Amino acid sequence: MLIELPIGWIVVLNGVGWPVIQFSLAWLFTLMPVTWFEPGDAHPWEQGGRFYERIFGIKRWKNRLPDAARWFDGGFAKGTLAGLDPAYLRRFIRETWRGELCHWFALGCVPVFFLWNPWWADLVMVGYAVMANLPCILAQRYNRLRLRRLLARQF
């Protein structure tokens, strides 16, 4: 803890800080052109998404995650597949990368909270950040792999 604050201020900063970070990043990423987001190749260990199904049981819970992109003008809803057109699928793939990167950036903001929190609260902040962002990252990766398989079957 570098900044000494009363516990009340710490609670307020922690409680307000995360929503401000998450929504600000979501809004900023929505403003960026989709052409900036070109995902790389899948990793062999992901096994076309089967890794996420087997290890995390992702099919059971991924549809319960919020999709904040639709809360902003220009956001791309990723909750359901709206078509099978190859151009749409390619756009959807890019959008999964945009979403994944946004959540990685949010995880990268954890050290900001180290400025005013005691060490034990730092652990709580890390735990929160992982629990709030990792499921979204996994879902974006899983969906991207499935969309790539679907796109490949069309050609």
Range of the domain at 75: 7-153
More confident site: 155 or 56? 56
pTM of the model: 0.93
Task: Tell me if 115 is assigned to some domain.
Answer: yes
Task: Tell me if 116 is assigned to some domain.
Answer: yes
How does residue 69 score in pLDDT terms, banded at 50, 70 and 90? confident
Q: What average pLDDT does range 111-124 have in this prediction?
A: 96
Q: How many structural domains are present in the chain?
A: 1
Q: Phi, psi (5° rounding) for residue 32? A: -75, 145
Task: Tell me if 85 is assigned to some domain.
Answer: yes
Q: At what angle do helices 86-108 and 7-31 cross, to 10 degrees?
A: 150
Read off the pLDDT of residues 75-105 as tens digits, 9 standing for 90 and up.
898 888 889 999 999 999 999 999 999 999 9
Structure confidence at residue 42 (pLDDT): 94
Q: How far apart are CA 152 and CA 147, in angstroms?
A: 8
Q: Please report, in angstroms and rounded to a whole number, the separation of the first and last CA atoms in the chain.
A: 56
Residue 29 has pLDDT above 90, yes or no: yes
Residue 1 has pLDDT above 80, yes or no: no
Structure confidence at residue 74 (pLDDT): 80
Closest CA to 102 of 128, 142, 69: 69
Q: What average pLDDT does range 10-26 have in this prediction?
A: 96
Closest CA to 113 of 8, 11, 6: 11
Structure confidence at residue 99 (pLDDT): 95
Structure confidence at residue 53 (pLDDT): 97
Residue 55 has pLDDT above 90, yes or no: yes
Q: How far apart are CA 2 and CA 4, in angstroms?
A: 7
Q: What percent of the chain has pLDDT over 70?
A: 99
Structure confidence at residue 11 (pLDDT): 95
3-state SS, the chain, equals: CCCCCCHHHHHHHHHHHHHHHHHHHHHHHHHCCHHHCCCCCCCHHHHHHHHHHHHHCHHHHHHHCCCHHHHCCCCCCCCCCCCCCHHHHHHHHHHHHHHHHHHHHHHHCHHHHCCCCCHHHHHHHHHHHHHHHHHHHHHHHHHHHHHHHHHHHCC
Task: Tell me if 103 is assigned to some domain.
Answer: yes
Mean predicted lDDT score pLDDT of the chain:
94
Task: Tell me if 142 is assigned to some domain.
Answer: yes
